Homo-oligomer: A and B are copies of this chain.
Amino acid sequence: MKTIKIGLIGFGTIGCGVVKILQDNRNIIKDRLGASVDIVKIADLDITTDRGVKVDPSLLTTDVNEVLDHPDIDIVVELMGGYEPARSFILKAIENKKHVVTANKALLAVHGDEVFAAAGKNNVGVGFEASVGGAIPIIRSIKEAFVANQIQAIEGIMNGTANYILSKMSDGDHDFDTVLKEAQDKGYAEADPTFDIEGIDSAHKIAVLTRLAYGTPVSLDDIYVQGISSISSLDIKCAHEFGYRIKLLAISKFDGKAIDIRVHPAMIPEDKPMANVNGVLNAIMVCDDLMEENILVGHGAGALPTGSAVVADVVEIARNMISGAQDRVPPQSFQTSSIRNIPLKDISQIEGEYYLRFWVLDKPGVLSQISGILGNHDISIESVIQRIKDDNREGVPLVMMSHNAKEKNIQAALKEINHMEEVFGKTVLIRVEK
């Protein structure tokens, strides 16, 4: 029986998951692949900490070149994350004619062009299913299942930490900081949670998917990104009252001319499947001209879910090696000659319905003044919740749901309203996605 030899760079959470899967599920992989997958080397700066998986100590090395230059290794699996030195290691592996599997969305979002060009030049495969949605087979589905489809939109909950926080806030009357602290204690949020809660991780992921869906590179700087740290438990309660759930969504829509790409908290009608995707689960919806919508739901993070996607990519490359396939599926989903630069829309060009939560002085006339400004900007209001004063804080919340309106009008109106003497702090704006 043939043996495929792989080397790992990075022996952290996902690395351990991959090692465990290749050990525990060795037989099931053989039964399906018809070959064995053997780990030949594992490189990490720390090779002394006990990580709970048993590996032959001779496999471990602190010298990454023992992986990159190993003559027997067919596939290099990069699981260290971050931009550098991951980028240099991957490029070196590719130059050494090794196939690459990575879970590194940050790297692909920023240095994707360089990595894919190098892989094409050196005729090696690049697998990155694990970079978006953990165990959710979204990349494989876009590249192979929806291959004949004109994709019109990709939309999803792509960060488990943010979804966990919003779900927990939704379960009870918990504020953001309390839930974040709890998530950190449980290991669902990192000590520095910025990438997750401020939407940057989701932006990396939607950049990767946009490239595959429409055949265009995307610059991370051009993506509108807004996180969830301004969402309060009051917003979550009001959303419930209006029949919505609040989720951090990554969105990429293509109208055939330009792409509307953005990450922000959004209100989803509560009877939609995606509104009921809670906890650390992720969900990604693909809409196109043939199948309307297709939603994939699953665990977007964790050693074993993400590890299972990594191993699936290893098996895919192994299958190409064994069956003699060359360039079977282009790594960017489109043939290189068909990739072109599609312009991106600015957030000011979109339109939709909006949730607006003001904090206002509790006196007559304020509601009429705010409605007046909104009206002047062509924004009509569908419903209003005015709360009574219930704590020591000055002022009361005033919550509105708009009818369909233009983002640029909303922004102009909010600028005026935020300057009113009777309005405290910055207004919370949440876009509605139906």
A interface residue numbers (CB < 8 A to B): 21-22, 24-25, 28-34, 129, 134-137, 140-141, 143-150, 215, 271-273, 275-278, 283, 288-299, 304-305, 307-309, 311-312, 315-316, 319-320, 323-330, 333-335, 338
Contact = CB atoms under 8 A, between A and B. Distances in A.
Contact of A325 (B144, B147, B328): B328
Contact of A335 (B34, B134, B145, B271): B34
Contacts of A338: 30-32
B135 A32 contact: no
A315 to B, nearest CB: 5
Given A296-B294, A298-B291, A326-B324, A309 B145 contact: yes
Residue of A149, A288, A330 with highest tally of chain B CB at under 10 A? A149
B330 A320 contact: no
A294 B28 contact: no
Given A32-B330, A135-B291, 16 more contacts: A28-B149, A31-B334, A32-B334, A140-B144, A144-B312, A145-B312, A148-B311, A273-B276, A289-B304, A291-B304, A291-B308, A292-B305, A294-B296, A319-B329, A320-B325, A323-B325
A273 B290 contact: no
Contacts of A298: 291-295
Nearest to A135: B291
10 contacts: A29-B148, A32-B338, A129-B145, A145-B312, A147-B315, A148-B315, A271-B278, A276-B276, A296-B297, A324-B325
A27 B297 CA distance: 30
A385 B134 CA distance: 43
B25 A308 contact: no
Chain A interface, >50% SS class: mixed
A144 B330 contact: no
Please provide the 8 A-B residue pairs with the shortest distance between their CB atoms, ordered closest to farther. A137-B145, A135-B291, A325-B325, A31-B338, A294-B298, A148-B311, A323-B325, A290-B308
Contacts of A293: 297-299
Contacts of A292: 298-299, 305
A37 to B, nearest CB: 9
Nearest to A271: B276
B328 A320 contact: yes
Contacts of A275: 276
A172 B56 CA distance: 63
A32 B211 CA distance: 13
